[in-house]
Structure 1
Amino acid sequence: MIYTVLFSQLNKTNIPAAGGKGANLGEMITAGFSIPDGFVLTTAAYDAFVQANGLQQQIIDLAHTASADNPQSGEDASEKIRALFMQGDIADDLVQEITTAYSQLTQDNGNAVAVRSSATAEDLPTASFAGQQDTFLNIQGNDALLDAVKKCWASLWTARAISYRMRQGIDPASVSLVVVVQQLIPADVAGILFTANPVNGERDQVLINATWGLGEEIVGGQVT
């Protein structure tokens, strides 16, 4: 089983397995844009981890304990599900494939990467899941990478993601997660560009939120 795919091998036809982020990064490379290189861990990697650790039914059962009328129930379900992920073991063949891809990616570019999540239901016509899962920056070394991968997988089950899928009527058994591993640029300034104003909904206005460093405070909402 091949679990890792390079950006350069991806296009929009790969969205079901490689997620919207990975597929669109592949499209950008094909179009000639200069972007930090990387690879994705496909949905097959997430599914293999869940199956190998016997998590699927436990996840579904816990997700169904969450209630839209009781926010604490979502927090409790999320905490238990995410603990299952962090206690699980990544199979040796998957570890080997991840660390080999990481070594090849970083051998000439320094070993710091961003580990980004991309849910398979992230960009549906009727729902946007952007920001529902977690991203980890400045990850260095095999152990830190493998830990960040598990945290990304687990973030498919944050309380906010569980609640949002519940409101959208999405079956918890139908979702999966892609992990994007991308070279990290040591930024002096970083932020988020909105091509429509999220405050007033005006589509002819552009909004840029930026801060010093890697921009984690912007993404996390500590700085606006």
Structure 2
Amino acid sequence: MTTITWFESYWAGMKSEVGGKAASLGEMTGAGLPVPPGFAITTSSYRRARDESDLDAQIARLLHGLDTSNTDMVSERCAKIRQAIATMPIPEGIELQIRGAYLELGARFGMKDVPVAVRSSATSEDSPDASFAGEHDTYLWVRGAEDVIDAVRRCWASLFTDRATCYRVEMGYDHRTVEMCVVIQKMVTPKAAGVAFTLDPTNGDRSQVAIDAAWGFGEAVVAGEVTPDNYRVDKVMLDITKRIVSEKSHEYVLTDHDTVEKVETTPERASAPCLTDTEIKAITKLAKTAERHYGCPQDIEWAVDLDLPEGDNIILLQSRPETFWSKKGPTTVIEPGTKSGDFMSSIVSTLMSPLHTKGADGS
């Protein structure tokens, strides 16, 4: 049984052991994309911990006859399952390997208690017929081995949040077959963060990269809590074809006591753009590289790291297939007044539409 897999050691045959998020981070690392270093705690570690705590019978009993329309029943039963998982002992050998890997990660940066993000990576995430994005827990700026171990248990327990449990019931997933890997990844200190699509999500135009950006950590953008700055960038010429700077009312920032908290943005900062043109174009180039590597349009999470020098400060946190427009086939929007047979339009359409795309299995 493999307990720990470093991102640089990942290979495609391991996906069932690490889940969608960790698999993506491992593949991006292998492709040379700028990903914060880290490792994955495999699903077999979670399974062994559950087996040795003999929790399956208790979980099955609590899920039996669950009425997902009864919110009180769902909350009560899921809370009991999460409590059981969050307090179960981790087998000694597995815990020692987690602690050792965390110390090794810190040693790479000369830090004793390196701050990390502890992220859930369930085997059901980013599956072709369902999306569990946002259903499971992530813990930011975790320091020290004890807190890392605690966060790992809580990520395991988040398999049974009310939302995730109800979603599995609605989608017909067997609770026993969905397992959890946990990603331990060095934190970035973001000046700004957000998402990028390698097509225009409003119309499927694959000649554009769409970027949403806000100050601080990206949670406000991903969760839809703030209206982000919005940009469209031409993939070929790298011209910024659309620019909307929004009033960004709040942001998630690192506090002096090592927690990430939501704060109000100062008025002058709220109305200011959070990206320079250089950063916008750098994000676009990395997005194009990710799309070229995966062979299909991508939905990317990125950050501008304050700890890195300008020019090398764009970090990719996640890249997953875009799921809506990709199912409809390649699209290139033709501007009004342009003939459909225009020679240049034909060239751009071909450039934006790869002849070969990878299937869901990566083939």
Mapped contact 1:114–1:139 kept (Cα < 8 A): yes
Structure with more relative contact order (C-alpha pairs < 8 Å, separation 6 or more): 1
Displacement, 1:77?
1.7
Residue 211 (structure 1) aligns with: 214
Give the counterpart letter for 2:68 in structure 1.
A
Separation of aligned partners in 1, 2:210 and 2:77? 35
Separation of aligned partners in 2, 1:193 and 1:17? 27
Aligned CA RMSD, in angstroms, stands at 2.0
The partner residue of 1:117 within 108, 116, 120 is: 120
Q: Deviations over 1:1-27 (max 9, x none)?
A: 431111111122211011122222222
The partner residue of 1:189 within 180, 185, 192 is: 192
Give the counterpart letter for 2:103 in structure 1.
S
Mapped contact 1:188–1:213 kept (Cα < 8 A): yes
1:219 to 1:55, Cα distance in 2 relative to 1, 3 A: farther
Displacement, 1:76?
1.6
Separation of aligned partners in 1, 2:209 and 2:168? 28
Which has the larger share of helix? 1
Residue 46 (structure 1) aligns with: 46
Residue 135 (structure 1) aligns with: 138
Stretch of structure 1 that moved more, 149-158 or 119-128: 119-128
With structure 2 as the length reference, what TM-score do the two structures score? 0.57
Displacement, 1:65?
4.1
Separation of aligned partners in 2, 1:222 and 1:53? 39
Separation of aligned partners in 1, 2:130 and 2:204? 18
With structure 1 as the length reference, what TM-score do the two structures score? 0.90
Give the counterpart letter for 1:183 in structure 2.
K
Stretch of structure 1 that moved more, 98-107 or 8-17: 8-17
SS for the counterpart of 2:194 is strand
1:78 to 1:210, Cα distance in 2 relative to 1, 3 A: farther
Q: Does 1:148 align with 2:151?
A: yes
Q: Structure 2 regions of 5+ residues with no counterpart?
A: 228-363
Choose 1 or 2 for highest CA Rg: 2
Separation of aligned partners in 1, 2:3 and 2:26? 16
Q: Does 1:106 align with 2:106?
A: yes
Give the counterpart letter for 2:135 in structure 1.
Q
Separation of aligned partners in 2, 1:149 and 1:159? 19
Identity level (%): 40
Separation of aligned partners in 2, 1:130 and 1:195? 19
Residue 183 (structure 2) aligns with: 180
Separation of aligned partners in 1, 2:49 and 2:65? 23
Stretch of structure 1 that moved more, 207-216 or 39-48: 207-216
Stretch of structure 1 that moved more, 152-161 or 46-55: 46-55
Q: Structure 1 regions of 5+ residues with no counterpart?
A: none
SS for the counterpart of 1:160 is helix
Displacement, 1:71?
2.5
Mapped contact 2:82–2:158 kept (Cα < 8 A): yes
Mapped contact 1:81–1:157 kept (Cα < 8 A): yes
